Amino acid sequence: MWRKNPAEQNSEDQLQEGKGLAAPFCLELPEWALNCFIVAHIFAVTVWLLPNNPLKKVCLNLVTPYIAGMGLWQTWAVFAPDPKTWTTYVTARVTFQDGTKREWDFCRLEKLDYLTRLFKDRDRKWAESVNDNRNYRVWPDTCNYIARQFTDKQNPPVLVSLIRHWEYMKVPELKAIEGELPRRYHGKDGKMVLFTYLIEASGQTK
């Protein structure tokens, strides 16, 4: 008759008795620590969402590292009493070796169907970041990425320009609210070259 190895039998006995098992890692925090974290989180989010006031100015530097680090930041430029009345986006103009030019579009949700928007929102955020002057360090890599989207080795890209566009929305005249005049935009639609990047065959600057 077949009999189990004694070592196997001992292991099964230990399993049945709950012995010899490595307990899964579990970080146990005291209840007071969890409560402090919850209170601090609620405080940080509340401060971030407050309208501009002296309290927010005092506390904003304190909560910004946490909000930014956790990706919880949000802006409210589309809400009353002073919503945005203009929109801006960025495109790229690609110049090829033979002198021809083509336009390359970043992701714009208004050009996508509702289902595709669910999967492209990260691309939209990337385009918004590229359009921000504070993120000028990403412009060269962005141009290199755009150049790599064109694979004709006989006529490769030699120049990529990032173009910023702005358009003003037609809105009714806004009245003063609580004694403060809202922002008014009466400019004209336009565009400008944000950045121009020279491409080598290796994808590096000259």
pTM confidence score? 0.59
Token representation of residue 184: 């008014």
pLDDT of residue 111: 85
| Strands, sheet with 157-168, edge to edge from the N-terminal-most edge strand | 101-105, 86-96, 157-168, 190-198
Does residue 95 carry a pLDDT above 90? yes
DSSP for the chain? Answer: -----HHHHHHHHHHHHT-SPPPPP-----HHHHHHHHHHHHHHHHHHHSPS-HHHHHHHHHHHHHHHHTT-----TTSTTS---EEEEEEEEEEETTS-EEEEEPP-GGGS-HHHHHHHHHHHHHHHHHTSGGGGGGHHHHHHHHHHT---TTS-EEEEEEEEEEEE---PPPPPBTTBPPP------EEEEEEEEEPPTTS---
pLDDT of residue 13: 55
Query: How much of the chain, in percent, has pLDDT values that exceed 90?
Result: 34
By DSSP bridging, strand 101-105 and strand 190-198 are unpaired
pLDDT of residue 21: 52
Residue bearing the bigger pLDDT, 114 or 18: 114
pLDDT of residue 99: 93
Q: Which amino acid is it at 152?
A: D
Token representation of residue 132: 């921000």
Does residue 92 carry a pLDDT above 90? yes
Q: Tokens 């005291």 belong to which residue?
A: 30
Could you report the per-residue pLDDT of 109-143, keeping only the tens digit for each?
A: 888 888 888 888 888 888 988 999 989 999 999 99
pLDDT of residue 200: 77
How far is Cα 138 from Cα 6, in angstroms, rounded to an integer? 64
pLDDT of residue 71: 78
Token representation of residue 94: 């690609």
Could you report the per-residue pLDDT of 163-204, keeping only the tens digit for each?
A: 999 988 776 655 545 555 445 555 678 899 999 999 875 444
Could you report the per-residue pLDDT of 31-47, keeping only the tens digit for each?
A: 888 899 999 999 999 99
How far is Cα 94 from Cα 188, in angstroms, rounded to an integer? 26
Residues 6+ apart with CB under 8 A from 187: 86, 166, 168
